[in-house]
Chains A and B, each alone.
Chain A
Amino acid sequence: MGEFKLMKGNEAFAEGLIRSGADGYFGYPITPQSEVIEYLMAEEPHKRTGMVVLQAESEVAAINMVYGGAATGKRVATSSSSPGISLKLEGISYMAGAELPGVILNVVRGGPGLGTIQPSQADYNQAVKGGGHGDYNLLVLAPASVQEMYDFAGLGMELAFKYRTPVMVLSDGVIGQMMEKVILSEQVTRLTDEEIYAKYGDWATVGRTNGRERNIITSLHLKSEKMEAHNHKLAAKYKEMAEEEIRFEEFETEDAEYLLVAFGSSARISQNAVKIARAKGIKVGLLRPITLFPFPKARLNELADQVKGMLSVEMNMGQMVDDVRLAVNGKIKVEHFGRVGGIIPTSDEIVEALEQKIIGG
């Protein structure tokens, strides 16, 4: 066993940021994700790596600090939970428009409105459709363990810079609050100012060095033709992500006659449901999308030729089920099962729903 620690998901994300060489974090407390900023403040990353951490006056200010920080070519992140993410969407839309990299963690709680502080996956649609105004998408990663909370802080940043786009890590109150063992990686050294000039000096606000043309970070395009061209440029980037970045995990799908589709904590519970169902003689498998955008459409379409029906298990009233149906394109029956309000579905309930809605339905 390498270096490991028992950590909360929120703490693991924070440690993941530090170790992957992040330059800054700007946040605002909200349950159930406040441990991210609490951990960062306690760890004093300005002493460990020189990373900047600041508690902003609001989620709105925090995302705009990220917007400003991301423009400098440095690696910056923020985190919040559902109502706070709603407030951040203005800034996220600006980041997407201005093509800025950055990582945003959403530790989802139930809604709408103030809702509940208990775990939920009700922000799926918001995350995968971009969420804010205008034609854009985020690359969305859905961790299902504390280890992935740690890993996706760094992976998210890497992808954010690869595509110069904001990346959302869509977690939930279960993954954020629970502790599990995390295997820690070596500290990555933060880029020096000179390395940032060299790598990102062609677009970032590093100062107008060596008499070059000024760099402008903006999402404003007053000329229709320019705006249209920019929309096409963004769309091409999302298409490239769909070709390069789809990530998913399969469990017992080889001989499956039925399929569960679930992400995040629902996927953990569904994996247990697969075991229970198989013990009863039902041949069921699980597909866990790890990227929610881009969505593993092609693989689901392929599996639709093999299985008789799919059940989308989500802690919401039925959101990802639409994407599963689009992927399957009418080939087979696709239904949704979910618990909401902070109630976590049990593996038995999932098996029962499979029997009633798919096998018997």
Chain B
Amino acid sequence: MTAEEIIKNGQKVFTKTKLLTDNVMSYCPGCGHGTAHRITMEVVEEMGMEEDTIGVAPVGCSVLAYDFMNIDMQQAAHGRAPAVATGISRLWPNKMVFTYQGDGDLAAIGTAETIHACNRGENIVIIFVNNGIYGMTGGQMAPTTLPNMKSSTSPFGRDVKMMGNPLKMTELVAQLPGTYFVSRHAVHSPGHVRKAKKAIKKAFENVQAKKGTQFVEIVSNCNSGWKMTPTKSNEWMVENMFPFYPLGDIKVDGKLIEK
């Protein structure tokens, strides 16, 4: 059966949001970025906010996010997206402004910009995709690389005595008074995708209600950087990343969740 025949028979189950372009995504097959992009844009479309949403793309694998997200976007220097978003949001206080950043960008070179934007409570959404590695530059160690995890700059595994510890940025920003909603999700299964999308929607709604900084982490795989098949990388993520970066809400409505 061709695609046209399926649609004719009224069996169409999925339509790509019009807020994703038709450009072929530059991500590796099996990577979580594509799904994270899609649910972000679906949320903007569902809210009917495409004329009032401005996105900021980082440096890293998602540097070209603006090729795929069909809204007004700006590309930021490495790590500076929260400062760029601050500038946009302060000048367009009634628009929804978000950043989409990876772990190297947000948690290493951009630590200061991230913490201060969160601490000021800038009215923006920060979507933080954490795959524990620098994907674009070829698999170097990231601030979020797990202990003993191999990368091209920790070829024998991350020795925390020598290379320092992984940084739990999300738990860190949850402590700051400016963050209103802080939550960690994944996009490797339909159930997880639904939860992640719900969290992103809540984040955007909070920004619409001018509640301050909304921080959603998506723990993701990097099959090429981790040198695994997509399926294997997702299994590895569940086994190794989730225990260290547990999924779930950390702060809701400005209040830390009691564990």
Residues of B within 8 A of A206 (CB): 72, 92
Q: Which residues of A contact B57 (CB under 8 A)?
A: 218
- The answer to whether B77 touches A91 (Cβ under 8 A) is yes
B89-140 with Cβ < 8 A to chain A? 90-92, 95, 112-113, 116
Shortest distance between the CB of B72 and any CB in chain A (Å): 4
B50 at the interface (CB under 8 A from A): yes
Distance of A72 Cα from B69 Cα, bound (Å): 18
List which B7-54 residues lie within 8 A (CB) of chain A: 50-54
Question: When A57-B112, A90-B77, A94-B77 are in contact, do A205 and B83 touch as well, CB less than 8 Å?
Answer: no
| Interface pair A64/B80, CB less than 8 Å apart | yes
In the complex, what's the smallest C-beta–C-beta distance from A324 to chain B, in angstroms? 35
Nearest neighbor of A75 in chain B, beta-carbon distance: B91
A220 within 8 A of B: yes
Q: Considering the chains assembled together, what is the distance between the CA atoms of A56 and B113 in angstroms? A: 9
CB-based contact B72/A64 at 8 Å: no
Q: A184: which B residues are within 8 A, CB to CB?
A: none
B26 to chain A: closest residue by CB: A222
Query: Min CB distance, A75 to chain B, in Å?
Result: 10
Do residues B91 and A72 form an inter-chain contact, with CB atoms below 8 A? Answer: yes
Find the residue from B70, B77, B91 having the highest chain A CB count within 10 A.
Answer: B91
- Complex CA gap A344/B66 in Å reads 50
A23 / chain B contacts, CB cutoff of 8 Å: 91
Which candidate, A13-21, A208-216, A304-312, is the interface stretch facing chain B?
A208-216
Contact A205 B116 (CB under 8 A): no
With known contacts A65-B86, A67-B76, A57–B116 Cβ distance under 8 A = yes
B222 sits at the interface (CB 8 A): no
Cα(A26)–Cα(B112), bound, Å: 16
Task: Give per-residue flags for A24-40: 1 if the beta carbon is below 8 A from chain B beta carbons, else 0.
Answer: 10100000000000000
| Chain B residues, CB < 8 A from A64 | 76-77, 80, 83-84, 87, 113
Q: Is B208 an interface residue (CB 8 A)?
A: no
Output the least CB separation between B127 and chain A (Å): 17
* Bitwise interface map of A from 134 to 150 toward B, beta carbon under 8 Å scored 1, else 0: 00000000000000000
Contact between chains at A68 and B88 (CB < 8 Å): yes
**Contact at B80–A60, with CB atoms within 8 Å?**
yes
The answer, among B50, B53, B56, for a CB contact under 8 Å with A68, is: B56
Residues 49-83 of chain A, each 1 if its beta carbon lies under 8 Å from chain B, else 0: 00010101110111011111111101010000000
**A68, B51: Cβ atoms closer than 8 Å:** no
Question: Which of chain B's residues has its CB closest to A73's CB?
Answer: B91
Task: State in angstroms the CA–CA spacing of A231 and B73 once bound together.
Answer: 22
Which one, A52, A57, A208, A219, contacts B51 given CB within 8 A? A208
**Contact surface of B with A, Cβ cutoff 8 Å:** 50-54, 56-57, 63-64, 66, 69-77, 80, 83-88, 90-92, 95, 112-113, 116
Top 8 A-B residue pairs of the complex, sorted by shortest distance between their CB atoms: A68-B87, A68-B84, A64-B83, A65-B87, A69-B87, A218-B75, A57-B116, A64-B80
